[in-house]
Structure 1
Amino acid sequence: MTSSETPRILAVEDNSETQLLLEHLLKGSYETEVVAGVEAALAAVEETPFEVLLLDINLNEDQTGTDLLHLIRERDGMGQVPAIALTAYAMPGDREDFLEKGFDEYVSKPFTRDDLTEAIESTLNPA
């Protein structure tokens, strides 16, 4: 990816209000595709390469954001794409738990634009 390209982000969030919030907070900085669930996310990664995955953990489906992460990472070329857990879990130890499950970063709800961009930038530009 060249520096002139806008990073592409796939955000998976089942709550319509949070979907709108994500689109609003990220527009202008990133090219963001927001989808509502597992099947739509899997279809999106087949169609388009993404630089970052932003995955809600509690999807109103049989599968969680963690399950989705593992399904995406099994796909060709997707094994190293950084993923950020987006969750209402904000207890001590939750961040470490999500990192152990394969996420690269963690953002708890409610979040700000700064919370999101810091997490995205840290996954795009690891120290």
Structure 2
Amino acid sequence: MKKPLLILVVDDDDDNQVLAVQILKLLDYACISASDGYMALELSHRYHPDLILLDIAMPDLSGLEVVHRLKTNLVTASIPVIALTAMAMVGDRELALAAGFDEYLAKPYSVEQLETTIQQTLASFSSPVVERC
């Protein structure tokens, strides 16, 4: 039996965090969660999850700062990070991607949107890069 992929859910809102974890469990993912950026960094180093769902607007250490620290650290730089956020204004997606997020999903989202975004992001990280000579 194949081991389920591990996803770290980071959200300071308990309801949003619990909802995401429950959906991911229904989709057969293993989950760990953090309620702040500092805990997210610690769990990322300790467990090296297959993917991180990260809220942007969090107190103390924003998701933008967390993704910057993850992507500039050799231990965690290869972990795909999806912004899962209520920031859904024009330009927010571009801001998140420019900050280092690999994908962006605005709240509220459907189960299908979450599943598709996760699958596409994981597929883009597992595909070999072919360089042309």
What's the TM-score once normalised by structure 1's chain length? 0.88
> Which residue in 1 is equivalent to 2:25?
27
Corresponding residue for residue 82 of structure 1:
80
Amino acid at match of 1:30: Y
C-alpha distance in 2 between matches for 1:84 and 1:115: 12
- Structure 2 regions of 5+ residues with no counterpart? 128-133
Count of matched residue pairs: 124
Deviations, residues 89-114 of structure 1 (Å, cap 9, x unaligned) = 11222212211111111110111211
Q: 1:39 maps to what in 2?
A: 38
TM-score between the two structures when normalised by the length of structure 2:
0.85
Deviation at 1:35, TM superposition (A): 0.9
Q: How does 1:54-73 map to 2 (within 5 A)?
A: 54-59=53-58, 61-73=59-71
SS at match of 1:62: coil
Runs of at least 4 residues of structure 1 off by over 3 A? none
The DSSP-based 3-state class of the residue aligned with 1:46 is: helix
Secondary structure, counterpart of 1:34 in structure 2: strand
Match of 1:115 among 101, 104, 113: 113
- Which SS does the other structure have where 1:103 is aligned? coil
Q: Which amino acid aligns with 1:105?
A: E
State the alpha-carbon separation in 2 of the partners of residues 7 and 37 from structure 1.
Answer: 22
- Counterpart secondary structure, 1:20: helix
Consecutive unaligned residues of structure 1, counting only runs of 5 or more, are none
Identity of aligned residues (%): 34
Counterpart residue number, 1:51: 50
Structure 1 or 2: larger helix share?
2
Structure 1, residues 62-103: CA drift from partner, whole Å, max 9, x if none? 221010111122333211211100111112222122111111
